[in-house]
Amino acid sequence: MSYLLHIDSSSLGEASVSRQVAQSFRRAWRGRVVHRDLAAAPVPHLDAAGIAARTVEPARHTPEQAEAAKVQDELIEEFLGAGAYLFTVPMYNLTMPSVFKAWLDQVIVDGRTFDRSGPPPAAGRPAVLISARGGGYGPDAPYYGFDFVVPALEAVLGREELLGLDVATVIPELTMAPHTPALAALLPKHEASMAAAHEQARHLAAAIAAGEPLSSAA
C-alpha cells in the first residue's frame, strides 16, 4: 500500500474530538501517512476558472485557469496516489466544514476521479470517516434526521458513481456534554461514545492493515 492520506478539517486543533479519535487510528497505523490539514492550509473554493480549466485545452488556459488546474492536479494526484484514506470531518451547523467541501469540489472531476462509464480509479480502497458532533442525532434523539454530514459523505465517498471508496464511519457524539450543564445527564452516554469511537478507530486501522473489507470490519 502506497500511503494513508489523512485529510483533517476541524478548526479546533488539538481540542478537536474528531482529531483526537483520528490519533487513535494513526497510533495503530503502521505505514506512511500524508497529512493535509485543511484548517491550517485551506484549499481554494471551486470557482469559474477551476471549472473552465477542466474542459479548456491546457495550451489555451488563462493565467487564472492555469493556476486553478495546478491546484486540482496536486490534490487529485495526492488522492489517487493513496492506498487508504482517513477523513476527520466534524459536524458544523448540521453539515460539514466548508474547507472539506472545498476539497471535495476540487478533487471530484469526471474522467479523473470518477468515470460515468465504469468504476472510479479508487474504487474499493478503504476509507475511514470520523465525524464528531456536539449532540446526538441517532434514532432516539430529538434531532434525528438532521445529520447532513455522514449521509452526504457516505454517498459522495462511497457510491461507485462518485469516488467508490469502501467507507467505514466512526461517530463520537454528545461532545458538548462535558461543557454544557443542560447536557450533564448525558455525560455517561458521551463517555461511552468516546470509548467506543477510539476502540473502533484502532480496530479499523488493524482491519485495513490485514486487508479486510471495511464493510465487514466496521
Each residue's pLDDT tens digit, 8-37: 999 998 899 999 999 999 999 999 999 999
Total count of domains within the chain: 1
What pLDDT band is residue 44 in, cutting at 50, 70 and 90?
A: very high
pLDDT value at position 117? 84
Residue 100 host element (H or E): helix 98-107
61 domain residue, yes or no:
no
> What pLDDT, on the 0 to 100 scale, is given for residue 115?
87
The three cell numbers locating residue 217: 470490519
pLDDT at 154: 97
Measuring CA to CA, which residue among 158, 159, 134, 162 is closest to residue 146? Answer: 134
pLDDT cut 90: percent of the chain above it: 88
pLDDT of 140 reads 86
Structural domain including 125 reads 4-39+70-97+109-217
CB 177 within 8 A of CB 183: yes
Burial 65-86 (b: 16+ CB within 10 A, else e): beebbebbeebbeebbebebbb
Query: Picking from 1-15, 30-44, 55-69, which range would have the lowest pLDDT averaged per residue?
Result: 1-15
* Single pTM value for the model: 0.94
Report the percent of the chain where pLDDT is more than 70: 98
CATH number at residue 155: 3.40.50.360
What is the tally of helices (H) and strands (E) in the chain?
A: 7, 5
Whole-number Å distance between alpha carbons of 133 and 176: 8
pLDDT tens for residues 98-150? Answer: 999 999 999 999 999 998 888 999 999 999 999 999 999 989 888 999 999 99
**Closest-CA residue to 163 (of 95, 115, 99, 205):** 115
In tens, the pLDDT along 189-213 reads: 999 999 999 999 999 999 999 888 8
Scan for cell 450533564, then name that residue.
Answer: 184
By C-alpha distance, which of 107, 125, 119 is closest to 1? 125
The residue-averaged pLDDT of 160-184 equals: 94
The answer to whether residue 64 is domain-embedded is: no
Asked if residue 1 has pLDDT above 70, the reply is no
Contact call for residues 3 and 34 (beta carbons, < 8 A): yes
pLDDT of the residue at 199: 97
Domain-embedded: residue 33: yes
Average pLDDT, the chain: 94
How confident is the model at residue 118, as a pLDDT? 86
Contact 65, 6 (CB under 8 A): no
In a domain, 102, yes or no: no
Q: Is 120 part of any domain? A: yes
Q: Is residue 210 part of a domain?
A: yes
Decide if 45 is inside a domain.
no
On whether residue 47 sits in a domain, the answer given is no
Asked whether the predicted pLDDT for residue 73 surpasses 60, the reply is yes
State yes or no: pLDDT of 218 exceeds 60: no
